[in-house]
Structure 1
Amino acid sequence: MMSIIDESTTAATLKAPVKNHWLAHLFLQFSHTPVGTQLTRTQRKGPLSVQKAFYPEGRDCAHIYLLHPPAGIVSGDELRINVDVQQDAHLLFTTPGAGRFYRARTNLEIGDTKQSQITQLQLEADAKCENFPQETIVYEGADGFNTVDIKLTSSSVYLGWDITCLGLPDSDEPFLNGKYCQLNRLYCDEILIYHDRIALSPANQLLTHPAGLACNSVFATFLAYAPQKLKQPQQRAELLALLRDQVKQQDAQTLISISDIDGLLVIRYLGAQAQQCKQLFISLWEILRPLLIDKTALQPRVWHT
């Protein structure tokens, strides 16, 4: 007996929204005003928000904590964060705790298992942005995609890192069968100058391959870009020497590499401890910040809670 299927019903079923998922968006604009850097515009949808700006260094530098009450990203979630730092404004952007990509659902009825976070940072002329989220934990079986796009001008300054932890090896939950893609791009005056992508999956074996992560569970990148501050190769060479000497003093030469890519300083960590990575990055930030932003490094209070 022939069955008749209503095509419109089938199409509607295939496009049915995923249950128990979040499509969240947060837009923040920071402006330089007579009373310092102020959060002047906010738009939000879904469970992304920020507290009021804090000013532990004075009114010219706003510290902002990104809040995500669900505390993690599951299948079907898409979080979009857009930050616009206007001319002469200075923002330090961080999170009160680790981000998480949880195990992807296996129930085929929900449709796509992808879990996404997309961050876009726009810096206008003479703007300064320090983007220091705490580590991102990617659970075994996740299907995550995390991207950071930075768009700045030749007179702005950017310092930012991302720290990724794969699985929970200390709890005997290694990252074996999950998928995770990290994409970082940086544009200066609308020209792409840095594109870095890693896509981990059981198929490509990058997690274990010697040319990949070589069985390390934590990888991280710290970018520093200040075209006007570091115009001359000799300036950058002297700075690289300072940074590498700091790495040597901490006996971390096998964990940290530092490169100068046409004025963009790229600092990489490959190891097994997120806290170790963060402390190494902070020690390098303490060198970079006074030179590029003319301020001593003051850690956000939330890092100590």
Structure 2
Amino acid sequence: MTSALFESLPPARAQPSSEGAVRHQRADGVAELRFERRGERSVLRHLYQSAPLRVLFPQPEMGEPPLAALVNTAGGLAGGDRLRVEARACAATTATLCTPAAEKLYRSLGPETRIDSALHAEPGATLEWLPQETILFDGARLRRRLDVDLAPDAKLLAAEMLVFGRTARGEQFRQGSLHDSWRLRVGGRLRWADALRLAEPGEALADRFGFGGAGAFATLLYAAPDATAHLPALREAAGPLGAATLPREGVALIRWLGPSAPVRAALAAAIPSLRAALLGLPPLLPRLWTS
């Protein structure tokens, strides 16, 4: 059974509406994972998945935690599609979740695409959420939410990147919509919340006092009891395109804004150095980022 966290959706089968219009078949992918401690190792103990979401487990490199690769077998998402992910790192475990490629959001005929992710880290756990970029085609409509619930001594390193249009084709994200929200709870209490809403993306992205024509936007979040002590490391990792800050106690944040290729390069350079400095993990990108 799927988690009660997720509400049920209407049947995916195409059906005529009362006006005679056709409701097209839509994807509803689900993935649930739970990692537990076995001796000195973190191991997968629960997995549920439904198409088009599939979870693959490449052999981790020496010294790396278990790696779960979230694969959208549909190759992209259209309006009305939905993906739902729930991952739990049980006490004293370490796990990494990422994607093998960028996620593509196609032009919508009206409905929003929904992506809902819920991450849980229990006492002493370390969880990495490192998907590759999401590319918003012109006309895409995305509503995405990331909910994180940490034990007071758990650690989270999370990154997300948005690309506004297909850069190689000279396309910009002018039409459509975006509502991207984060909620971080520590010990059951809300610690940090953030949301980005673009109802008229062309205007907001071009505004010199907004995004200033940037082609991409990336966020890297570190949540842990020692976040304040590591602010110098995050400032160094931010580089010339980014900036680091402490929005709340126990929460450190880097954001990058600029052309898509330099922003991705900056994020890809920051992740290895911060994994080593903050989590004691090998200073490497998840290998799916480079394979």
TM-score computed with the length of structure 1 as normaliser: 0.83
Structure 1 residue aligned with 2:79? 75
Percent identity (aligned): 24
By percentage of residues, which structure has more strand? Answer: 2
Distance in 2 (CA, whole Å) between partners of 1:245 and 1:303 is 22
Q: Describe the SS at the equivalent of 1:144.
A: strand
Distance in 1 (CA, whole Å) between partners of 2:20 and 2:161 is 35
Distance in 1 (CA, whole Å) between partners of 2:35 and 2:58 is 10
- Runs (4 or more) in structure 1 with deviation over 3 Å come to 11-18, 245-248
Distance in 2 (CA, whole Å) between partners of 1:37 and 1:173 is 43
Q: Which deviations, in whole Å up to 9, do the C-alpha atoms of 1:107-129 show, x marking residues without a partner?
A: xxxxxx11111111111111111
Residue type of the partner of 1:297?
A: P
186-195 or 284-293: which moved more? 284-293
Counterpart selection for 1:32 from 27, 33, 37: 37
Q: Describe the SS at the equivalent of 2:274.
A: helix
1:303, distance to aligned residue in structure 2 (A) = 1.6
Structure 2 unaligned segments of length 5 or more: list them: 1-15
Do the aligned residues in 2 keep the contact of 1:78 with 1:116 (CA within 8 Å)? Answer: yes
Do the aligned residues in 2 keep the contact of 1:144 with 1:180 (CA within 8 Å)? Answer: yes
Please provide the CA RMSD for this pair: 2.3
Do the aligned residues in 1 keep the contact of 2:113 with 2:142 (CA within 8 Å)? Answer: yes
Structure 1 residue aligned with 2:124? 126
Structure 2 residue aligned with 1:243? 234
Distance in 1 (CA, whole Å) between partners of 2:165 and 2:270 is 26
**Cα pair distance change 1:221/1:266, threshold 3 Å:** same
Structure 1 residue aligned with 2:54? 49
Counterpart selection for 1:185 from 183, 186, 193: 183
**Cα pair distance change 1:288/1:169, threshold 3 Å:** closer
Structure 2 residue aligned with 1:143? 141
Distance in 2 (CA, whole Å) between partners of 1:135 and 1:75 is 18
Counterpart selection for 2:18 from 13, 16, 19: 13
Structure 2 residue aligned with 1:271? 258
Mapped pair 1:161 → 2:159: yes
Q: Which deviations, in whole Å up to 9, do the C-alpha atoms of 1:208-252 show, x marking residues without a partner?
A: 22332122120111001111x34xx5xx2xx3334334545xxx1
Residue type of the partner of 1:81?
A: V
Do the aligned residues in 2 keep the contact of 1:157 with 1:292 (CA within 8 Å)? Answer: no
Q: Describe the SS at the equivalent of 2:285.
A: coil
1:15, distance to aligned residue in structure 2 (A) = 11
Is the radius of gyration larger for structure 1 or structure 2?
A: 1
1:142, distance to aligned residue in structure 2 (A) = 0.8
Mapped pair 1:293 → 2:283: no
1:21, distance to aligned residue in structure 2 (A) = 0.8
Distance in 2 (CA, whole Å) between partners of 1:82 and 1:132 is 14
Residue-pair matches, total: 275
Mapped pair 1:63 → 2:67: yes
Distance in 2 (CA, whole Å) between partners of 1:79 and 1:247 is 30
Residue type of the partner of 1:241?
A: P
Do the aligned residues in 2 keep the contact of 1:39 with 1:53 (CA within 8 Å)? Answer: no
Residue type of the partner of 2:173?
A: F
**Cα pair distance change 1:225/1:17, threshold 3 Å:** farther
Q: Describe the SS at the equivalent of 2:277.
A: helix
280-289 or 167-176: which moved more? 280-289
**Cα pair distance change 1:276/1:57, threshold 3 Å:** farther
Distance in 2 (CA, whole Å) between partners of 1:293 and 1:216 is 31
1:272, distance to aligned residue in structure 2 (A) = 1.1
Distance in 1 (CA, whole Å) between partners of 2:46 and 2:160 is 26
TM-score computed with the length of structure 2 as normaliser: 0.87
Distance in 1 (CA, whole Å) between partners of 2:258 and 2:117 is 25
209-218 or 86-95: which moved more? 209-218
Do the aligned residues in 1 keep the contact of 2:92 with 2:126 (CA within 8 Å)? Answer: yes
